Amino acid sequence: MAHTMVKLTATVCAAALSVAVLGGCMPQQQTSAASQAQSDNRAYMTQVNQTMEALQTRLNGFSDAVSRGDVVTMRTQADNAFKALDELDSQEAPDALKDVKQCYIDGSEQLENALNAYIELYTEIDSATDTQPFDWSTYDQRIADIQAAYNSGLEKLQEGDKTAADLPQ
C-alpha cells in the first residue's frame, strides 16, 4: 500500500509538473507570435519609409524639370518616380497592414495619373505651333484638375500613414 501511495504521489507530481511546463510554454509562444507580427509590421513600414524617401527625391527631380520646362526630363523623372511607386506596390504587407498597403496603392495610382497628366499638358504646350496653337482657355482648369489628383494621391498616402499609426501596438 505504501508503495502504491508513492507511485500515485509521483504520478500526480509528474502530471502537475507537466501541466506547469506546458502552461509556461504557451504564453511564450503567444508572445513570440505577437513579437514576430510586430517585427514584420516594423519591417514593412521601414520599407515603405525608404521607398517614400526615394519617391520624394525623384519628385524633386521632376519639379526641377518642370521649373525648366524640360518635357523630356519630366518624363525621365516621372518614370523614375513610377519605379518607386511600383516598388511600393510590390512590397509584401503583413496581414495587419493590408488596409494600409491598399491606401498606398490607391495613392500611388493617383500620383501616377497626376504626373502623366502634367506631362501630357506640357507636351501639348511644347508641341504647339502657329497653325495648331495650344488652347490656353483650358490651361487653368487642367492644372487645377492635375493638382487635385496629385493632392488626392498625397492624402491617400497620408491616410495609409495614419491608419498604420493608429494600429494597436
Domains observed in the chain: 46-166 (1.20.1440)
Higher pLDDT, 70 or 17: 70
* Digit-coded pLDDT (tens) for 132-155: 999 999 999 999 999 999 999 999
Does residue 11 register a pLDDT over 90? no
pLDDT of residue 31: 58
Mean pLDDT rounded to a whole number for the chain: 81
**Tens digit of each residue's pLDDT (9 = 90 or more) over 95-118:** 888 999 999 999 999 999 999 999
Quickly list DSSP for the chain: -HHHHHHHHHHHHHHHHHHHHHHHHHHHHHHHHHHHHHHHHHHHHHHHHHHHHHHHHHHHHHHHHHHHT-HHHHHHHHHHHHHHHHHHHHSPPPGGGHHHHHHHHHHHHHHHHHHHHHHHHHHHHHT--SSS---GGGHHHHHHHHHHHHHHHHHHHHHHHHHHHHS--
User: Which tops the pLDDT comparison, 57 or 31?
Assistant: 57
Which of 28-42, 80-94, 145-159 is least confident?
28-42
Where is pLDDT greater, at 8 or 70?
A: 70
Of all residues in the chain, the percent with pLDDT exceeding 70 is 80
